[in-house]
Amino acid sequence: MKAARFYDRGDIRIEEIEEPVAAAGEVLIKVAWCGICGTDLHEYLDGPIFCPTHDTPHPISGETAPVTMGHEFSGVVEALGEGVDDLEVGDHVVVEPYIIRDDVNTGPDSKDYHLSQDMNFIGLGGRGGGLSEKVAVKRRWVHKISKDIPLDQAAVIEPLTVGYHAVDRAGGVKEGDLALVGGAGPIGLLTGAVLRAQGATVVISELSELRRKKAIEAGAADYAFSPAEVDVVEEVKKLSKDGKGADLSFECTSVQVVLDTLLDATRPTGKIVIVSIWGKPATVDMHKIVMKELDVRGTIAYVNNHPDTIKLVESGKLDLAPFITGKIMVDDLIEKGFDTLINHNETAVKILATTDPERLNS
């Protein structure tokens, strides 16, 4: 079968590999669509980070490069391994793409399996990936979805769940909450979409005019301000009930001035969630955190959030279609996918890839 495989920095090859089979406890999925993520671009430009090198195997998967890429995917169940009796061939599914040690509690009560030692992702650390025709995944990580959700939109559920978990880390949304999102990249937009679907009024702060336009059009924000044109802190305070600022804020840029803005624009006792990955230390004005009793929290990926995120999508309260800005064949992954996302990242949000020409043409 066809697969996009990471060999090394700048070296991803589309090649023929052997088809996987569903071992005991696994589900064989025929991939429909797979999104390209910022993390994939990062591996390509600066990696290997999550991907193993060619001589050091990942401690859990045991695999070395090359590994198949793609962790944001949807598909159709093609076969069930021994012992899997609660899914059927033909079911539509998405994958929570974790590689986690077998002795970690990944039950529905766990709040920290995603933080366990050597955690990695299917499609980065080994175990196949969505940028291929088929992938075999442990039953635990396969989530059935309604056939009413189009499979292209379903491929966006993985990054949407990152936003869902971020909102969960803020304690969820209360009716009438005002939320500020710093940055309208893919995760900022999807976090905004979750917040609005849960009843918050959302303000996005974003320098790029095209991204601000997208935020409003896609339903990710009620207001989108440019920090180069207006005083975002003042605008947020004006929109808040009592002039005191946002109830919840989400940092989705890893940019110092955005963090500073959030500290000023968040109301006393408000919550700030750091969603972006920071490659370097930031400066934090502790006095503001103290004097406003702010609650600053981190968030990474998701933990037991897929079922609720899928329910939210099934409820029809948010539309994932506007976040899909391109569809390509896996064969064109680098030229039409990676290059577009690297060089035209103001207009591209999610580019989805498939190995099936019929899906692309339908």
Q: Which of residues 84 and 190 has its CB atom nearest to Zn ion in the complex?
A: 190
- Structure tokens of 255? 């940019």
The residue range among 33-41, 85-93, 290-298, 323-331 that interacts with Zn ion, by the rule CB under 5 A, is 33-41
DSSP for 236-253, written as a single string: HHHHSTTSS-EEEEEE-S
Q: Which of residues 36 and 246 has its CB atom nearest to Zn ion in the complex?
A: 36
Q: Which of residues 123 and 270 has its CB atom nearest to Zn ion in the complex?
A: 123
The residue range among 30-38, 53-61, 130-138, 338-346 that interacts with Zn ion, by the rule CB under 5 A, is 30-38
What number of H helices and E strands is found in the chain?
A: 11, 18
Q: Which of residues 130 and 245 has its CB atom nearest to Zn ion in the complex?
A: 130
The residue range among 12-20, 31-39, 339-347, 354-362 that interacts with Zn ion, by the rule CB under 5 A, is 31-39
Residue 155 · residue 140 · CB < 8 Å: no
Q: How far apart are the first and last CA of the chain?
A: 22
Smallest distance from Zn ion to CB 94, Å: 13
HEC letters along 278-292: CCCCCCCCHHHHHHC
Q: Which of residues 37 and 351 has its CB atom nearest to Zn ion in the complex?
A: 37
Give the residue closest to Zn ion by C-beta. Answer: 37
In eight-state DSSP terms, residue 254 is -
Instruction: Mention every residue, 6+ apart, whose C-beta is less than 8 A from residue 231.
Output: none
Instruction: Mention every residue, 6+ apart, whose C-beta is less than 8 A from residue 34.
Output: 70, 72, 73, 74, 123, 129, 130, 131, 155, 330, 352, 353, 354
Indicate whether 37 belongs to the interface with Zn ion (CB under 5 A). yes
Smallest distance from Zn ion to CB 354, Å: 17
Q: Which of residues 81 and 326 has its CB atom nearest to Zn ion in the complex?
A: 326
The residue range among 39-47, 143-151, 290-298, 336-344 that interacts with Zn ion, by the rule CB under 5 A, is 39-47
Judged by CB under 5 A, the chain residues 297 through 336 that form the site for Zn ion are none
Smallest distance from Zn ion to CB 198, Å: 22
Smallest distance from Zn ion to CB 39, Å: 5
Smallest distance from Zn ion to CB 37, Å: 3
Q: Which of residues 66 and 186 has its CB atom nearest to Zn ion in the complex?
A: 186
Strand order in the sheet with 11-16: 11-16, 2-8, 67-68
Smallest distance from Zn ion to CB 328, Å: 17
Residue 275 · residue 166 · CB < 8 Å: yes
d(CA 246, CA 202) in angstroms, rounded, equals 9
Contacting positions for Zn ion (CB under 5 A) = 37, 39
